[in-house]
Amino acid sequence: MGYPKSLLNLIECYKRLPGIGEKTAERMALATLRFDEKTIDTFSESIKNVKYNIKRCKRCNNYTEDDLCSICSDESRNHSLLCVLEDPKNINIFEKMDIFEGVYHVLDGLISPLNGINPDDIKIKSLFKRVDEENIKEIIIAVKPSIEGETTSLYISKMLEDKDVIVSKIASGVPMGTDIDYLDSMTLEMALEDRKKISNNNE
């Protein structure tokens, strides 16, 4: 009532974003009002561009504006080392840390029979096709440790057991700086199981 229609419309738009409630949307809309014209035009265009320009990489399913994403088309990367991820946004975390020089494959989900998600519902066939067609030596599965994650890892390793490719998955355990008191039992169990020898006293 107190605000003109344009402002109310923008508040409604902001409220559709995750974690944005009425108050925050209002503050964001009022801030938008104070942006200069150049920022407004860039902002307005960016929203359209993100929807109309971004598609998925034909090879790895990463977000891209071209047929192949910047990682798949980068000749300097190690294309024989493949990291399997659940979601395209996971790629950004690896890239930010600058700890991985291989390429990726995004599954766009995890196998979950309980929720009716079968291997055919995620992008797993194209992974096996890549193993057949590309010169891949090692696959590192980096999906979250969970029933769905374990099921997916097991399925991939089973399907690839006859192929000449090493399949590994990232380690599960206690994260750095975490108090043992606050750990869930599943993590603790995995940390115990995957324990690492640090002395050779008994040899």
Give residues in contact with a copy of itself (CB under 8 A). 1-7, 9-10, 12-13, 16-20, 24, 26-33, 35, 37, 39-54, 62-65, 69-71, 89, 91-92, 94-96
Question: Are 85 and 91 contacting, i.e. CB atoms less than 8 angstroms apart?
Answer: yes
- Give the end-to-end CA distance of the chain in Å, rounded to a whole number: 79
Q: Which is nearer to a copy of itself, 18 or 203 (CB)?
A: 18
Give me the least distance between CB of 77 and a copy of itself, in Å please.
Answer: 11
User: Shortest gap between Cβ of 167 and a copy of itself (angstroms)?
Assistant: 23
Question: Of 91 and 122, which CB lies nearer to a copy of itself in the complex structure?
Answer: 91
C-beta of 7 vs 174, nearer to a copy of itself: 7
Tokens of 15: 């409220």
Least Cβ distance, residue 90 to a copy of itself (angstroms): 9
**Furthest C-alpha separation in the chain:** 79
Neighbouring CB atoms inside 10 A of 93's CB total 12
Q: How far from chain centre, in Å, is Cα 46?
A: 22
